[in-house]
Structure 1
Amino acid sequence: MKPKKLFILLFSISFLTVGCFEDLDDNPVSTTDLNDFVWKGLNAYYVYKDDVPNLANNRFNDSEYDTFINSFSSPEACFESLLYQRQTIDRFSWITDNYIELQQQLNGTTYNNGMEFGLVRFSSTSSEVFGYIRYVLPNTDAESKGLQRGMIFHAIDGVSINVSNYINLLSPNNYTINLATYNDNGTPETDDDSIDPINQSVNLSKAPYTENPIFISEVLQVANQNVGYLMYNGFTRDFDTQLNDNFNYFKSQNIQNLVLDLRYNSGGSVNTAILLSSMITGQFTGQVFNTNQWNSEIQAQLDPSDLINNFTDNDDGSTLNSLNLGKVYILTSLSTASASELVINCLNPYINVVQIGTTTTGKYQASITLYDSPDFSSSDVNPIHTYAMQPLVLKTLNSVGNTDYIDGLEPDFTAKENYGNLGVLGNPEETLLAIALQHILENGRISLPPYSSQEIVGDSKDFTLTKNRMYVD
């Protein structure tokens, strides 16, 4: 594929409406045709193509190819068979039978009841799980029912949550959470903690919802210093203008330090990651932000300059409000992934990134949406089905070549949220924010809370198509 054609594909993805697909049942697509789409799309774009023998251009003659394609009972089975080291290297490629829902979620719209939660088990040997509410989205069912950050639930529809059933229990559009209290038994250690059920439940219903990823943006007055605090929960292109407006406010307040809270941010747009990083800095315009690495076939066809993303001072001609900071504090957790990690990794060679929290997910690859069309773009899509793929198509490297952080990015200061006392987001006394502020005030001298053995096993983003996605716009 010629470079020009490749980049036309990368930047021409557009939203498609439901109206074209009203007669799908009248013209069902064959499994063979879907499997053919899967193989050809991965053969063209998959970043690990060179490592999968069955994706080699010369792997099959015509009859062997037909046999291979017809050996799978579903496109999902065909897709999974062609992925490279699914449990370790490629944990993130996926396929959907409803790309309309995918496009909505990439634009920030999900089916949501407004309760954003984490799921925790006390140790790696325990199967019992409890949920804690991280935050509640405004104008949602959860807000109307009075749910708040820090509330604990131990069961769904009366069924206790465990590592095997939480996906099924929390997937329906309607369910009831059974509340509990967190009992630390008066000690700082977590080994003797327990979850005590109470006779209280709340029924929740999901509805379409577009989340503004800018959840909190404020300036804190800390010992005569102006500290910007931004809780940013998703790299969503539709909110880039609002993000820039927030940095204009930070700039007008002459902030000396910025705390960027990405603990619940599972990723999104690469372009937004570049913009955010350029707003934090501003003094590196035109310098290398990151380099992309495609499969060898695509890589060989691209000019080296096409592989590089640079820091910028504008967004499609609109001037960015940049702070020119030499240090940034970033709060992280296991839920911090993809584009969030890209910001951390790519700022590290340029400024002092003080990471506080726990190790991140470990996703350094990006994807694009492949449709069943002549060039895999959203033009001339096969009208008789709504399958699409989101395979990993490139790896990201920072300006000094760091990539492959499969085990995540480790914090400079390790701390977990206190599930028995979460605190108020944005409040200077909240656990992770307090550590950042202490580091600012005490010039690097801090005290850390006792480390908990409790383990996050999932969160509310597990129930969306776009969790841990870093995608090329």
Structure 2
Amino acid sequence: MKKILILVVAAIVFSCSKDDNLSLPNTVDPDGSADVVVQDFMWKAMNFWYFWQENVDDLADDRFENTPAGRAAYTSFLDSEDNPAAFFENKLQYIQDRFSFYNEDYRELTNSLAGISKSNGLEFGLVRFQDSQELFGFVRYIVPNSNAATVEIQRGDLFTGVNGQTLTSTNYTNLLFGENDTYTLNMADFNNGNITPNNVEVTLTKEEGLAENPVYLSKSFTIGGENIGYILYNQFTNEYDDDLYSAIKDLKSAGITNLIMDLRYNPGGSVNTTRLLASMIYGTNTSDLFLRKRYNDKLQEQFNDNQLEVYFADKINGETINSLGLTKLYVITTASSASASELLINSLEPYMDVIQIGDVTRGKNEFSTTLVDDRDNSYLYTPSRVNNINSDNQWAIQPLIGRNENADGFYDFTSGLQPDHELKEDYSNLGILGEENEPLLAKAIAIITGATGKRDFTVKYPINIISSSKENSLMSDKMIDDTVYDLAF
């Protein structure tokens, strides 16, 4: 069984003292008769950790005084929204924050971030018909050993409805991501530029505890005298770090001199896994800065460089990393490549030539962590402390708590990272993942071998997704700070 290393606090070491000078969460408490325990946790955790704390007036340190009148005002504020979700969104979340979120059960959230979810294993994208509110879906890939792997559906298949209802921009969330565990897709054909229903139905059922190994595919090619490695990697999940390193070691043994990392469907994940992968690719000099963290101002000024700076790694789970030592990296991206995927590109840029192929990325440069109602642990989720979580409050929040800068100090890619060689996926010609003729992989190979003029890469029907199965998962667009460092509280 894999050792579960979940989220930030599994890797953070706290040394507390009575003489600390770090501002702890606000001590104003609500009236004990008010039913606001969740809202109280949310406010105090966000006041302490939230990256945009100073931009939200209601999160100001002096917003509520520790006086009878101040406590009454605080209680009234917390009680202004009966629903904690509405309180989080309407009262605490900064208007420019696209990615912070919450869950009423911390166990569901932490399982999702560990790559375990309730899912049927169908990964798909959704596209809007031109000049219409109607949508169609296209299958990206099938998770092995899932329910979808047992039925007649495959990459490239199209669907236009669910349970007999045409998909639209207003109903797709409920139909595809609602409470129903089982739904039936109404499939469609593509003919001469038209997508039309074909009366074929595929029924899928979501199953508890589906674990997806993010190392979906790893192989090597020898083409045009070049030894090329390829990894299709679908999530930075630290539970599978050993699998990732095994893939890298196999490619090194195969003698590759070029590597293509396919992150087209990778929504992000563990910062530490990103650091490890960067070290496997580039090098293991632990004096090379991988990233520098930037928190909100009141936290930032109290941390020293050792607490803010993260360096390349020379070991993974106690094993010395035998790095590929490359000077170039080829990365395939789409609009679904986000967060830790972008971090890998940005943090390697100061050290090597990163050639990006595909579409502009999502644009997510902030990191988050899981906060729960464990007040003696500064609200940080720690697997060994689950018994210390307030039994009256199982909610968790996943707020953005900082930004990562690369060694050159660059972090500003909220509009996404632009590809060096633009090529969108084409829903009429998706190809088979990992095959040499799959368009995006073929483009990367052509760039490596210098054979770019030998194939027409015209995209007839470019994919401009409005959503996807991954974007509606708890893991979507997440960069989880689980790097090892000490914080003196």
Query: Normalising by the residue count of structure 1, what TM-score does the alignment of the two structures yield?
Result: 0.89
Equivalent AA in structure 1 for residue 479 of structure 2:
M
**1:323 paired residue number:** 324
Give how far 1:256 is off: 1.1
**What corresponds to 2:475 in structure 1?**
466
1:12 CA drift (Å): 7.1
Q: Give, in whole Å, the separation in 2 of the partners of 1:444 and 1:309.
A: 38
Alpha carbons 1:83, 1:90 under 8 Å: kept: no
Map residues 116-127 of structure 1 onto 2, 5 A cutoff. 116-123=123-130, 125-127=131-133
Equivalent position to 1:42, from 40, 46, 60: 46
- The aligned counterpart of 2:80 is 71
Work out the CA distance in 2 between the residues paired with 1:355 and 1:41.
38
Give yes or no for contact 1:10–1:368 (8 Å, CA) kept in 2. Answer: no
| Corresponding position of 1:96 | 103
* Distance in 2 between residues matched to 1:366 and 1:440, nearest whole Å: 33
Could you list the runs of 5+ residues in structure 2 that have no partner in the other structure? 1-7, 15-32, 483-489
Does residue 231 in structure 1 map to residue 232 in structure 2? yes
1:264 alignment partner in structure 2: 265
Judged with a 3 Å threshold, the aligned counterparts in structure 2 of structure 1 residues 443 and 419 are, in CA distance, closer, same or farther, namely closer
Which structure 2 residues correspond to residues 101-120 of structure 1 after superposition, within 5 A? 101-120=108-127
Counterpart AA for 1:467: S
Give the structure-2-normalised TM-score.
0.86
Which residue is equivalent to 1:434?
442
Residues 153-179 of structure 1, C-alpha deviation per residue, up to 9 Å, x if partnerless?
Answer: 111011111111111110231000011
Query: Residues 413 and 126 (structure 1 numbering): CA distance in 2 closer, same or farther, change over 3 Å?
Result: farther
What's 1:198 paired with? 198
- Distance of aligned partners of 1:251 and 1:53 in 2 relative to their CA distance in 1, 3 Å threshold: same
Whether 1:148 and 2:154 are equivalent positions in the alignment is: yes
1:244 and 1:321 in contact (8 A); partners too: no
- Is contact 1:370-1:390 (8 Å) kept? yes
Contact 2:267–2:478 (Cα < 8 Å) also in 1: yes
Task: State the identity as a percent.
Answer: 40
SS at match of 2:436: coil
1:66: Cα distance to partner?
2.1
Matched-pair contact (CA < 8 Å) for 1:122–1:453? no
Give the CA deviation at 1:445.
Answer: 6.3
Tell me the matched-pair count: 441
Give, in angstroms, the shift of residue 283 of structure 1: 5.7
- Provide, for residues 399-422 of structure 1, a one-character-per-residue CA deviation record: whole Å limited to 9, x for no partner: 111113111111111111121121
- What is the CA–CA distance in structure 2 between the aligned matches of 1:419 and 1:314, rounded to whole Å? 41
* 1:289–1:451 distance in 2 versus 1, CA, 3 Å: farther
Tell me, yes or no, if the aligned pair for 2:427 and 2:463 is still in contact at 8 Å: no
* CA RMSD, Structure 1 to Structure 2 (Å): 2.0
The letter for the 2-side match of 1:166 is: Y
1:11-410 pair list within 5 angstroms: 11=12, 31-61=35-65, 62=70, 63-86=72-95, 89-123=96-130, 125-171=131-177, 172-183=180-191, 185=192, 193-208=193-208, 209-282=210-283, 284-374=285-375, 375-378=378-381, 379=385, 380-410=388-418
Indicate the SS of the match to 1:301: coil
Q: Cα deviations across residues 114-153 of structure 1 (Å, max 9, x unaligned)? A: 1111111244x43221111111111122111121111111
> Is this contact kept in 1: 2:425–2:463, CA < 8 A?
no
**Aligned in 2, Cα 1:181/1:386: closer, same or farther, shift over 3 Å?**
same
Read off the aligned partner of 2:425 and give its amino acid letter.
Answer: E
CA shift at 1:431, angstroms? Answer: 0.7
| Cα distance between partner residues in 2 of 1:90 and 1:146 | 40
The offset of 1:82, in angstroms, is 3.9
